[in-house]
Amino acid sequence: MPISPSSSAQAAREVVAQRLREVRKGAGLTVTDLAGRCGWHHAKTSRIENARTAPTATDIRLWCRACDASDQVDDLIAQSLHAESMYTEWRTQVRNGLKALQDSAVQFFHETQLFRVYSSSLVPGLLQTEGYAAGVLGLSASFRDLPVDDSPEAARARVDRSRVIHEPGHKFVFVVEEAALRYQVCDADAMAAQLGYLLTAGALPQVSLGIIPMAAQQRSQWPRETFHVYDDSLVSVELVSARVKIAQPSEIRLYLKAFEQLRSMAVYGAEAWALIVKAIDALH
């Protein structure tokens, strides 16, 4: 049985609680000792360590200061915030329609300077044409049994949002598995237009487009879940039931490590264009 978002969030809270317990024990403090240094009742320490009470940022700062572990404050705070908001369930995100979901990220995109995107299954959203986007979003609307299918409007909003790719002050690094060029999520004409657009967009000076060949040998990473890294501050991972937002520095570093390994396996320029043209030829 798959783990529900709420269960996963609770598991994340328990990880934070365990780390705080280890910090206390590493400092040689009892529950009562730590409570005395922090100025609260010892029962609060127990509630936090048993994941019954989520610690605030102030609680974590006091805790680490009491244990002479101030170097762990930022990471623990980020992990705790992540545990409280790590899952934004799709049914909540799409209740106002798929177009509203596209519109919600516009300002954030304008504020981001460096986009890193790895996609194993689809052409990245920032590179999608309207026809391809309509196919992808139409499948999503059907799967989620939305009361109103506004995928055509959402596709136009996605393309409008993607105009950020032409604005100065941004850099885009895309790594796409070759298989993503072959999955026909729309009709052949729309698919051909999408692949043709990749040849154009991939040549923009602010864009780096790498394709990992299906025949790549000695892979250092197997195909991963699609993820986006925004600057060095946020990772977004899309699952079937939820979008996971990761802000914990140590986890972001892990995704960046994976991204660099995936990027190193990709081909670029003429070799990448050859794979795209091959996918276009396969449509006929």
Tell me what pLDDT residue 5 has. 40
The pLDDT of residue 49 is 93
Contacts with 43 (C-beta within 8 Å, 6 or more apart), sequence order: none
pLDDT value of residue 60:
94
Q: Report pLDDT for 244.
A: 78
pLDDT of residue 103: 52
| pTM score of the predicted model | 0.71
Residue written as tokens 């304008």? 110
pLDDT tens digit string along 147-165? 777 778 888 888 888 999 9
What's the rounded Cα separation, in Å, for the pair 36 and 9? 30
List of the chain residues with pLDDT < 70:
1-10, 83-106, 241-242
Q: What does the pLDDT read at residue 91?
A: 54
Specify the pLDDT at position 110: 85
Write down the pLDDT at residue 1. Answer: 32
pLDDT of 183 reads: 96
Q: Alpha-carbon distance 43 to 156, whole Å? A: 54
Q: How far apart are CA 211 and CA 195, in angstroms?
A: 12
Distance CA 15, CA 165 (A): 38
Q: What is the pLDDT of residues 174-216, one digit of tens each?
A: 999 999 999 999 999 999 999 999 999 999 999 999 999 999 8
| Residues near 228 by beta carbon (within 8 Å), at least 6 away in sequence | 115, 116, 117, 118, 235, 236, 237
DSSP 8-state symbol, 129? -
pLDDT attached to residue 243: 72
